[in-house]
Amino acid sequence: MANLKNANLKNVNLMNKVLDTITDKIERLEVVDSLANRVADWVAPLYANRKLVDVASGTPLGHPLHPLLVTVPIGAYSAAFVFDALKDRNAADTMVALGVLSSVPAAYTGLSDWRDTQGAERRVGLVHALANSASLGLFMASWVARRAGDRRLGVNLALAGAGFVSLGGWLGGHLVYALGVGIDTTAFQQAPDDWTYAAPEDEVTEGELTMGAVNGVPLVLTKLSGGTIVAYADRCTHRGGPLHDGTLIDGCIECPWHHSRFSVEDGSIVQGPATRPQPAYEVRVHNERVEVRRSAEPRALRTNPVGR
């Protein structure tokens, strides 16, 4: 038993090393940058409508929409294989068709998330999209073959498509869990529970954005019309853009990178593509010094925070 356990562990470690090697090569595959940039330019007109972009990003939900939508084609394709095994041809064909149709909105939301990535994230995202596109083409061909009466070819095409779905899904998981695309970029930042100096009072003025910091965590500060000073995390929750380089417009702080807007009153989202509000800090002025703190919170991952 011990030998079997050791052998399984070695196999797992080998698989992890192989997958890490593959993804590392994709992340460094600069040769695809020109293609990725052309694709981003080509799809840009599909996202000219700001409200549509907000929906595609998941702004109204407070959660990225793409990961929710991809479950539909994956579930449909999986169900198709079950119905194929049960010899229920009509149900299998219907599930393949559902998978193909539901892949369209999933792809639309995925492209929306991908087009504002750069570097390694954009390269991995491109391969992720190509794998899913190959899968879509194979399942479409499977549906055509099934309707033409060639069940064997239809099933084989679907099996090939499932292989590309698995590849695309694995790369999608790598984008989120390894590269952090789609997560709140402030998730692991923690400000002190005690009042801590952030900036000189005379540097925080109305109509201007000022950069401050507490324990290495960057903040953006400004003064409201009534004289109240507000402070938020400086990294945009969407992709980490520096909000202090942004713009105050219509009562909002607009990110300089992708133009998400956050209410200057409380940090809530007014315009996407961000899906999470900006973390707000309590503020006081003491001896002409702006001091901030955050209320105690139960988030365990912040007990070993970034910025200490």
pLDDT tens series, the chain, 308 aa? 666 556 666 666 787 888 889 899 999 999 999 999 999 999 999 999 999 999 999 999 999 999 999 999 999 999 999 999 999 999 999 999 999 999 999 999 999 999 999 999 999 999 999 999 999 999 999 999 999 999 999 999 999 999 999 999 999 999 999 999 999 999 888 778 889 999 999 999 999 999 999 988 999 999 999 899 999 999 999 999 999 999 999 999 999 999 999 999 999 999 999 999 999 999 999 999 999 998 766 677 766 656 55
3-state secondary structure of 255: coil
> Contact at 8 Å (CB) between 277 and 267?
yes
**For residue 204, what are the β-bridge partners?**
none
> Contact at 8 Å (CB) between 141 and 210?
no
Q: List domains and CATH numbers for the chain.
A: 2-177 (no CATH), 196-303 (2.102.10.10)
Distance, in Å, from the CA atom of 268 to the CA atom of 282, rounded to the nearest integer, reads 15
DSSP 283-300: EEEETTEEEEE------G
CA distances from 203 to 14, 35, 99, 241, 289 (A): 55, 45, 56, 22, 10
Strand order through the sheet with 261-263: 247-249, 252-254, 261-263, 269-271
Q: What is the pLDDT of residue 296?
A: 66
**For residue 212, what are the β-bridge partners?**
219
Q: What is the pLDDT of residue 78?
A: 96
What one-letter code names the amino acid at 179? L
Report strand pairing: 280-286 vs 289-293: antiparallel
Question: CA nearest 243: which of 284, 212, 204?
Answer: 212
Burial class (CB in 10 A: 0-12, 13-18, 19+), 29: middle
DSSP 8-state class, residue 235: B
Give the number of residues written for the chain.
308
DSSP 8-state class, residue 31: G
> Contact at 8 Å (CB) between 265 and 250?
no
Cα 213 from chain centre: 26
Distance, in Å, from the CA atom of 145 to the CA atom of 96, rounded to the nearest integer, reads 11
Q: What is the pLDDT of residue 9?
A: 61
Distance, in Å, from the CA atom of 144 to the CA atom of 141, rounded to the nearest integer, reads 5
DSSP 8-state class, residue 253: E
Q: What is the pLDDT of residue 245?
A: 96
Distance, in Å, from the CA atom of 102 to the CA atom of 106, rounded to the nearest integer, reads 7
Give, to the nearest 10 degrees, the angle between helix 89-114 and helix 50-57: 120
What one-letter code names the amino acid at 225? S
Containing 230, the helix (H) or strand (E) segment is strand 229-233
